[in-house]
Chain A
């Protein structure tokens, strides 16, 4: 199909990246429709104690919508804001809260990608006549003739690599997505934004979770549960070592994450780290740095991209969190939807709730959720 005949919906957050995507695609001659998803009312929990009154500069805040609208106006493309608040709450916020309350450390951005950006938004895009969806993610996708599969690959700008959060994308979703920034470096993107006359080219990147102002997830949990009329479950309990020795107490497992060092309230000679959170027993297992290392992990809820399924053990580079250097490992299936990953060298702070994503060279093989 000719480019002129193709309509592309651009997911616009009001930030530099997605705004530049819109500008680039307009230049290439596509018919563009700008879309912003209204996912979370930033003022919703503002009345709760400790929460900031006005939240600006959060992804998809009112100011960001104005920015996106301004870009759309400048590029002369139709622009709409679509309300996905209830789906976002159900598929991203609730699981986020539930994970913390059961001792896992969630990645809402992956859930948002899986359920909202590449699911709901893609459906909406198609419903309004757009064949493709473009986002400002730093990633690349391409069709591999030899395997007949769509591949997800790391971008040119490794420092902005967001493929870790995109491991859940299906073949259908990948076939309908454009990642125009995949070949560009961030400074290049800003420069392009500037040259396109988009005044927000100096706007800083948004780093944190979009629905948590100032990154304080504990305040958020308090405020959200209070609003829902639920009390934070009392999960106060013991701090124990790996040998079962009780070395202290804590006032709630949601205050901890694997690898955490601060906030343990235990004074010992050497630093103590959170090794594991036993949600059912309300226990937080602590130990020394060397105990944080582990050579294996299990994962479930797998999604395969480069391959259609894992039939035999495979050597991959595995990432266990976004800011982690992928490490060489063997991944093998241990159940219908479960894998065992064995690292060549032990890895630090493997955290249930995070994703493990497998790479082979630049390509994402697949990934799943760490148990």
Chain B
């Protein structure tokens, strides 16, 4: 059965060049980057080259890049590395769970956290950030691009506000890297999280940008890796993959790969909205990353739709999967003001660079068919339809 994967915000497949770049480092070019001998030096060189590639993606110095195991670790390192009991943190209600749960922990150990609300498009008002800053504020952490709806926060504006207030600014850019250009100097953030597997790199490899002069308490104690900021033998193949993915991501804004992906997303969204009724695009009208569209299929059970589509070969997502595998309504959609029913009726389609026009055609052919069947069998939809008639 043909399978089309439109859940790239969950994870994305490696691009062939990334896998090829990584391959030698598993066996022939293995090594511990801290070793003195040839294998070590070779490994060291590869790690440092990746560091440069990531630095170029972000427009920062290589020494400001700390390699991690991914987005969650990066977020945790940023928060726990910087914030001490008694500090005040400003964040939002639409952060990734890594930031939200880290903040809950910070609250438990004696910090105060302000969770800024968002508007109907999941946007934080930078003025709210400014107003929330107080003498004890240590850090503002606002997600760059939202994983659910793809909405882009006004990070430039927030960076300006935090710079003026002399408060640290961290942004979780996991969903933004590779989709929109990122310039940490321009944004004026102090910390930025990214991970490889959302930009066609391997899982288990990420980076935290740490602006020079920012003192960070490490999460892991051990060797002096990453300038004593993150102990642990470097994940050599992972880091090489991250570097390669970062380089491809950077080029994506000048070759047409991002543009083409964006055009496909637009066609998918336009066609769905144009050919079916009772739909709402979440965060419509707000700036968004070019690969994501999150649509409310009114009165439908998103879970049933995801399953029905999966059984026919299309992979998409709704809400957030919990440990049992059942879906819980998205806290982001809830924060935007969607009722639990509408949050549960929302489906996220997220493209990757590997998705072709044929993939979009396949999806466009399948979706109306599934939606129609679900609507025919939905008591809620029938009630709503008859009350409108």
| Bound Cα distance A85, B334 (Å) | 17
Q: Across the interface, which residues of B come within 8 angstroms of A80, CB to CB?
A: 307, 310, 325
The answer to whether B324 and A124 touch across the interface, beta carbons within 8 angstroms, is: no
Shortest distance in angstroms between A32's beta carbon and chain B's nearest beta carbon? 12
| Bound Cα distance A62, B322 (Å) | 11
Choose the segment among A126-134, A140-148, A205-213, A293-301 that binds chain B (4+ C-beta atoms closer than 8 Å): A126-134
The answer to whether B328 and A128 touch across the interface, beta carbons within 8 angstroms, is: no
The answer to whether A38 and B311 touch across the interface, beta carbons within 8 angstroms, is: no
Set A81, A123, A128: member contacting B311, Cβ < 8 A = A128
Q: Across the interface, which residues of B come within 8 angstroms of A126, CB to CB?
A: 377
| Bound Cα distance A80, B305 (Å) | 12
Which residue among A33, A86, A123, A128 has the maximum number of chain B CB atoms within 10 Å of its CB? Answer: A128
Which residue among B303, B324, B340 has the maximum number of chain A CB atoms within 10 Å of its CB? Answer: B324
Q: Across the interface, which residues of A come within 8 angstroms of B301, CB to CB?
A: 124, 127
Q: Across the interface, which residues of B come within 8 angstroms of A65, CB to CB?
A: 324-325
The answer to whether B373 and A83 touch across the interface, beta carbons within 8 angstroms, is: no
Set B323, B324, B377: member contacting A123, Cβ < 8 A = B377
The answer to whether A62 and B323 touch across the interface, beta carbons within 8 angstroms, is: yes
The answer to whether B326 and A129 touch across the interface, beta carbons within 8 angstroms, is: no
Set A62, A78, A86, A128: member contacting B324, Cβ < 8 A = A62
> What bracket does the count of chain B residues touching chain A fall in?
20 to 34
Q: Across the interface, which residues of B come within 8 angstroms of A36, CB to CB?
A: 324
Set B310, B326, B328, B378: member contacting A127, Cβ < 8 A = B378
Q: Across the interface, which residues of B come within 8 angstroms of A124, CB to CB?
A: 301, 303-304, 307
Q: Judge whether B24 is part of the interface by a CB distance below 8 angstroms.
A: no
Q: Judge whether A69 is part of the interface by a CB distance below 8 angstroms.
A: yes
Q: Across the interface, which residues of A come within 8 angstroms of B304, CB to CB?
A: 82, 124, 127-128
| Bound Cα distance A76, B377 (Å) | 27
Shortest distance in angstroms between A9's beta carbon and chain B's nearest beta carbon? 10
The answer to whether B308 and A127 touch across the interface, beta carbons within 8 angstroms, is: yes
| Bound Cα distance A127, B303 (Å) | 10
Cβ proximity bits A53-69 to B, threshold 8 Å, 1 near / 0 not: 00000000010010001
| Bound Cα distance A33, B311 (Å) | 9
| Bound Cα distance A80, B311 (Å) | 11
Shortest distance in angstroms between A147's beta carbon and chain B's nearest beta carbon? 28
Within B304-321, which residues are at the interface with A (CB < 8 Å)?
Answer: 304-305, 307-308, 310-311
The answer to whether B378 and A129 touch across the interface, beta carbons within 8 angstroms, is: no
Q: Across the interface, which residues of B come within 8 angstroms of A38, CB to CB?
A: 322, 324-326
**A83-B327 CB under 8 A given contacts A78-B310, A78-B311, A123-B377:** yes
Q: Across the interface, which residues of A come within 8 angstroms of B222, CB to CB?
A: none
The answer to whether B340 and A86 touch across the interface, beta carbons within 8 angstroms, is: yes
5 closest Cβ contacts across the A-B interface?
Answer: A38-B326, A83-B326, A81-B325, A81-B326, A127-B304
5 intermolecular pairs with C-beta atoms under 8 Å apart: A38-B322, A81-B324, A127-B301, A127-B373, A127-B378
